Amino acid sequence: MVKARIWTLAKQPVGIPRKEDFSCIEKEVSECKNGDVIVEAEYLSVDPYMCFMAKKVPFGTPMIGTQVSRVIESKNPDLPVGSYVVAQAGWCTHARLPAKSFQIDNWFKRSEILIPLEPLPRSLGLGVIGMPGNTAYFGLLEVCKPKAGETVLVNAAAGAVGSTVVQIAKLKGCKVIAFAGSDEKVAWLKELGADHAYNYKTTSVTDCLSEAAPEKINCYFDNVGGKFTADVLPHMADYGRVAVCGSISNYTNDDHSDPYCDPVVKAKKLHIEGLNVNRWSDWTQGLEQMKEWVLEGKVKYRETVYEGFEKMPEAFIGLFSGDNIGKAVVKA
């Protein structure tokens, strides 16, 4: 029998997660039955959304999450040993995936065959050629619908999603304003082509936008929410489009205030739309486009890689103090 190491939720995080909120256990993986595969994790993802999704995870069960894993035992002719998958297996080193797990409509529960990525690293299946890349691709192009010459604003812009949004917006001929949380991240955003990049910790969002966008903002890709968004809305153009991707400023506190209730939304006739990865049926088409752009050098990426499965809590907690540039992954 295969034994798995598993990070489980020991208690519900209060505020920023702490290592003691998680517990690592060992457990035998159940027998591989007809149609099933057993996989071994190669790279595991940590993402901000896991913080609020953790509220739905029963204590003592695996923390939710995605991994790129290798099939090590198979009773599924479509997935021979040596195949690679993007598995919704949680924070574990090994798992059994039943055949039906590849047929679920819900992305947060569905495992998928990893598209061929050679000569690129397989870890990109968790990043720019995975859920974060497709979130940027579909969220910007189908929700914000930017036009050449328009102004696009992105916050948390040095993360996996934000950095991709910056580059796609530039590919579409837009002026891009980007905010991140360190001078190192700001420098990288300028390398990616951002026309204006600011450290929100050392500047005033209002002052920066008055300087950088006197013509106002047409498209706002929001990963942060909270006060940041409240400061942005007065700088939106009439009929501006907003893609609400995340609200990381509120994931670790009890502030449930909604900046989108501000009267400015009505006054400026803004179109505001939330993103959900389950929305897009042409998922693979998005992955193939992102792969093409990466191979052509049109989209660049960075990864913050933590070595060792034991680093899962550290990598996750680091998201909320801005430790990562680009996608944070753990190499098992």
Fold entry, domain 131-278: Rossmann fold (3.40.50)
Q: Examine the pLDDT at 145 and tell me if it is beyond 70.
A: yes
Comparing 273 with 56, the larger pLDDT belongs to 273
**Rounded mean pLDDT, 281-304:** 97
Of the candidate ranges 14-23, 35-44, 216-225, the one whose mean pLDDT is the lowest: 14-23
**148-178 tens-digit pLDDT:** 999 999 999 999 999 999 999 999 999 999 9
Nearest alpha-carbon partner for 220 in 251, 192, 242: 242
Q: Are 114 and 43 in contact (CB under 8 A)?
A: no
What distance in Å separates the CA atoms of residue 74 and residue 273, rounded to the nearest whole number?
42
Q: Examine the pLDDT at 185 and tell me if it is beyond 80.
A: yes
**300-313 tens-digit pLDDT:** 999 999 999 999 99
Q: What is the pLDDT of residue 256?
A: 64
Q: Where are the domains of the chain?
A: 3-127+301-331, 131-278
Considering the domain 3-127+301-331, what is its CATH architecture? Answer: Alpha-Beta Complex (3.90)
**213-257 tens-digit pLDDT:** 999 999 999 999 999 999 999 999 999 999 999 888 777 666 667
Q: What is the pLDDT of residue 255?
A: 64
**82-133 tens-digit pLDDT:** 999 999 999 999 999 999 999 999 999 999 999 999 999 999 999 999 999 9
Average pLDDT, rounded, for the chain? 95
Nearest alpha-carbon partner for 161 in 331, 328, 330: 328
What distance in Å separates the CA atoms of residue 127 and residue 144, rounded to the nearest whole number?
21
Q: What is the pLDDT of residue 45?
A: 98
Whether residue 119 is preceded by a cis peptide bond, meaning omega within 30 degrees of 0, is yes
